[in-house]
Amino acid sequence: MLTRPVRRITLITLIALTASSVLLTACGGPETPKAATDNAARPAPHSAPRPAHITAEQARGALLGTQDLPEGWKTAHKNKHRKKAELKGVQARCLPLAAVVNTGRLEGEYATHAHRVFTKQGEDGQATGLAQDVSGYPRQRAEQGMRRLRDAVEHCGSFTGTLADTQATLRVKRHDAPRYGDDVLAYSVSVTVDDVRMDFDLATVRSHGAVTTLVESHPAETEHNRQAVDRALSVAATRLTRAAAATA
């Protein structure tokens, strides 16, 4: 049985992981010749190509607000002084899951991204976190990222890594989800260090090259806030689809 100081250190480490995953975070040109001006005034023979990805403004516009959540949720602010804990040392096939747990988004480079975090204090004094990330990618990259994440969810049912130089055991389970966007994946991840466990309930939605992930985090003994997550996912997916509609 763990002593109280060790358990406290472990709990702080898991809280740091939760914080790191849910806090994510002109000159004029030359004058146009007359001939070019005349040509510009004529209708273009072909429509302009669609943007490759959503803009930063569109990403921010797809974020949730407290008005989209049940009563009691508040916007959280990033603590710049909190030490970040990252999950490391996982097998290659499970790296997409580690990326989502660490950052709240798909692995790899993104073109633009925005995030927001909410918290709710329970009657038992335990806090639950809900984070949303919205990221824009070229469509092919987003599709590839979702395929790798789905593969990880399906084949990494249980795996290990290190968290603050301590071994962590992760267990993953896929869940059913309503149809949103072009692709949707709902899953849960539990992270156990020593005998302390933190649970993450996640849903990732892709529309064109835009991807949003919702992460609800809570201690194992705290009940999953299904109502808030389901409501948030519906609103988030609708906004993401609307933002991505005009992209390639």
pLDDT in tens, 63-112: 999 999 988 999 998 766 566 789 999 999 999 999 999 999 999 899 99
The b-or-e profile of 66-104 (16+ CB within 10 A means b, else e) is eebbeeebeebeeeeeeeebbbeebeeebbbbbbbbbbb
Q: What is the CATH number of the domain that holds 61?
A: 3.40.1000.70
Q: Does 12 fall in a domain?
A: yes
In a domain, 239, yes or no: yes
Domain count along the chain? 1
pLDDT per residue over 41-66, tens digit each? Answer: 444 456 778 999 999 999 999 999 99
188: in domain: yes
Domain span at residue 95 reads 4-25+52-244
Asked, for residue 234, whether it belongs to a domain, the answer is: yes
Helix H segments across 91-187? 95-103, 139-155
Q: Identify the three-state secondary structure at position 87.
A: strand
Q: 73: which residues sit within 8 A by CB, 6+ positions away?
A: 66, 118, 119, 120, 130, 228
Identify whether 35 is part of a domain: no
For residue 7, the model assigns a pLDDT of: 53
Q: In whole angstroms, give the CA distance from residue 140 to residue 137.
A: 8
Name the percent of the chain in helix, strand, coil, to the closest 5.
Answer: 35, 30, 35
- Residue 113's closest CA among 91, 142, 85, 93? 142
In a domain, 131, yes or no: yes
